[in-house]
Amino acid sequence: MSGQTLTPLQTTASVERRPRTGERRFDVFQVIPYIIFFVLLISVVLLNPRLLRLSVLETKLNAAFPLLCVTFAQSLIILTGGIDLSIGGILSIATAIAATQMTGDPGSIIFWTLAILAAGALAGAINGLIVTKMRVTPFIATLATWSIWSGIALFILPKEGGVMPAVLKTIVQKGGILGLPKSLYLVVLLALAWQFLKRTRFVTRLYAIGSNRKNAHLSGTPIHATLIMAYALSGLLASLGGIYRTIQYSTGSPTAGDPFILTSAAAVIMGGMSLAGGRGSIGASLIGAFILLLINDLNYFLGVSTFFTPMVQGVLLILAVAIQSLGNYLRQRRLAL
Amino acid sequence: MTAVLNIVRRNPTVIMAYLLAFLMVVAVSILRPGFGSPTHLRSLLIEAAVIGIVALGQTVVIISGGIDLSIPWVLNSTAVLMTVLTLGQNERMIWAIPVVLLAAATVGAINGLAIAYLQITPVIMTLAVNGILLGVMAGVASGGLNIGYERGAPPPIILGLARNPILGLPAVIWIWLSLIAAITIGLARSGWGRYTYAIGNNNVAATYAGVNVKVMQVLTYIISATMSGVAGIILAGKFGRAYLGMGDPFQFGSVAAVVVGGASILGGSGNYIGTVAGALILTVLTALLPIFKLPAAAQNIVYGLVVLGTVYLAGLSRAKESY
């Protein structure tokens, strides 16, 4: 676990140091997501002050939560320099199981929630095993498993349908605690989970693998175990998002996860995370997800048809990546000078 | 011909892929007599031709070290645009087909320019462009702007491509065969082909060797988008109409055909002869499912397993590090 075996130039990637907190210079490109977020938030609220009402906030956050889960999941993998296309399939499996199996009975709810989360983690772990033990590149591995998981979801629930016990909606999504919507607590919980996780050795290792896999290996990071763990966690979060989405819609869909593949990657990139891995923050990714959602709201108020949503997201995604690549260019030039 | 022989000699995986496709057809023909009938085989070939033409572009892009995920909606947009512009009349084809293919090529050029000059990762750029086209098509067709998408229809000549035989084979097959010949010779024999492999292997080395990497990259995405356009036109003719969502199966299908055909997703290896085998295998697999009374869901699972299996067994698209 020592960085001393490395040449001095390479030590930034070692496990001992934290690339996020150490030696950070103020970088304007890191605050861009937050600026965009606040500008959007203010303009949306100005356009529609009703948004400040707790009931509206509750609905908005309920709709946001699945994307936040999936974005968190995607960030974990992109941090390591990979990409997880299969989270769409895992989310679909979760909704398929939830909509077909769960009944209003408390025992059934607890059992199936745990079973779905376990299935998600298992599917993720299988992704991880394929990426590490079979050494298939993440893109192809998760493209193939996306197809497999989607097939399984279609087996469980051949077409849109199934019912989700209404009692769950009351428990999880409706009403508030201490005057604030329940969904707000969930979102804060997710953000806190990142604040906790980023201090763990596990996440430090993810950064190490993403920034330089060989150095991470040489300094003793258990690469395979860390990656399998990351993919499993990613699967678990995707299935959590799936359960929540099913509760929200009260019904299931075997293709529910597919739109999340592009949106999760878009959110991560909006948050400024580098696709090459090793740089960025999951907190910022979650802000990226909110940016996408606020833009949808903005479109709505401006009277743009929701059918155009993928177009707007695509344009923004390209802009975000272009800005990022400008940032990289400037950073490299600064280093070169 | 020697070009083909050389490719076969250097690529045992490709021969395996063809053997597999052939054996599957023979085995099933024995089990289910109708399967091997000339009419059924012909319809299978037409299916394979569409995947094959789409995957042609994907092959070139993957050899050059990129990936094109914008194929489904480039294909779909082209098909819709073609039916809307021709309105089912042969006379309008003379200008409509070039316009439509030029539009597809323009999308490819946008992909390529952004990837080459703005250094945007291919996965993200092409996925975003796919989303943009999806949004435009869905918005325009369903958002109240009447572009006459319902009134559009493929002209009789396009309808005939997959139906009327020329010298015993449907025109689609002849188109495919000529594309196979052109691209195989192009990749194996021309400077363009060598440059494409070179930038896929190591684009820094290629730059030092004097290859204009950026122009080459733009070119590969133009080829890919144009091929999606050709496939879109053929598919609209085959279905007799264009509809939203017709391109979606090709997102996975095009990559799968290339990967099963023995190209590495990391770039610099593979060839179109292999992809043709990949397209044939995927088509035969799809045709097998109803015979074994498997639902459509099984197709996704089988496709995924076949891709993983070939990648693993052939040792392709795999990381070099053992840690």
Q: For residues B136 and A310, what is the distance between their CA atoms, to the nearest angstrom?
A: 8
Helix boundaries (H) for chain B: 2-10, 12-31, 38-63, 71-86, 90-117, 122-142, 156-161, 171-189, 191-201, 203-208, 213-239, 249-260, 272-291, 296-314
Determine contact: B124 vs chain A, CB below 8 A.
yes
Size of interface A-B (CB pairs under 8 A): 157
Determine contact: B147 vs chain A, CB below 8 A.
no
Q: For residues B125 and B97, what is the distance between their CA atoms, to the nearest angstrom?
A: 26
Model pTM score = 0.85
Average per-residue pLDDT in chain A? 83
User: In total, how many domains does chain A have?
Assistant: 1
Q: ipTM of the predicted structure?
A: 0.83
> How large is the angle between the packed helices B213-239 and B191-201, nearest 10 degrees?
110
Give B288 or B1, the one with higher predicted confidence.
B288
Which pLDDT belongs to residue A337?
64
CB-based contact B121 A321, cutoff 8 Å: yes
Query: All domains of chain B, ordered by start, with CATH?
Result: 2-314 (1.10.3470)
Which pLDDT belongs to residue A5?
44
Q: Are strands A180-181 and A176-177 parallel, antiparallel or unpaired?
A: antiparallel
Contact (Cβ atoms closer than 8 angstroms) between residue B99 and residue B85: yes
Given a cut of 70, whether residue B8 has pLDDT beyond it is no
CB-based contact A214 B321, cutoff 8 Å: yes
Cα four-point dihedral sign B11, B13, B14, B15: positive
What pLDDT band is residue B223 in, cutting at 50, 70 and 90? very high
What pLDDT band is residue A60 in, cutting at 50, 70 and 90? confident
Determine contact: B117 vs chain A, CB below 8 A.
no
Which pLDDT belongs to residue A3?
41
Using a CB-CB distance cutoff of 8 angstroms, which residues of chain A are in contact with residue B289? Answer: none
Which pLDDT belongs to residue A183?
83
One-character DSSP codes across B244-266:
TTTTTHHHHHHHHHHHHTT--TT
Residue given tokens 């010779």 in the structure block: B185
CATH of the domain at A102: 1.10.3470
Give B41 or A145, the one with higher predicted confidence.
A145
Which pLDDT belongs to residue A1?
40
Average per-residue pLDDT in chain B? 84
Cα four-point dihedral sign A271, A276, A280, A286: positive
Q: For residues A209 and A5, what is the distance between their CA atoms, to the nearest angstrom?
A: 17
CB-based contact A217 B295, cutoff 8 Å: no
Which pLDDT belongs to residue B149?
61
Given a cut of 50, whether residue A2 has pLDDT beyond it is no
Which pLDDT belongs to residue A252?
84
Interface test with B, best of A260, A311, A330, A333 (most B CBs within 10 A): A311
State the residue range of the domain holding A191.
Answer: 3-336
Determine contact: B120 vs chain A, CB below 8 A.
yes
Determine contact: B293 vs chain A, CB below 8 A.
no
**Mean per-residue pLDDT, B89-111:** 90
What pLDDT band is residue B162 in, cutting at 50, 70 and 90? confident
Q: H/E element holding B170?
A: strand B169-170
Helix boundaries (H) for chain A: 28-47, 54-79, 87-101, 106-132, 138-156, 166-168, 182-197, 201-211, 213-218, 223-249, 258-270, 282-301, 309-336
Which pLDDT belongs to residue A8?
43
Q: For residues B197 and B203, what is the distance between their CA atoms, to the nearest angstrom?
A: 9
The distance of A180 to chain B (nearest Cα, Å) reads: 36
The distance of B91 to chain A (nearest Cα, Å) reads: 33
pLDDT digits (tens, 9 = 90+) for A216-240: 888 888 889 999 999 999 999 999 9
Contact (Cβ atoms closer than 8 angstroms) between residue B29 and residue B35: yes
Q: For residues A87 and A84, what is the distance between their CA atoms, to the nearest angstrom?
A: 6
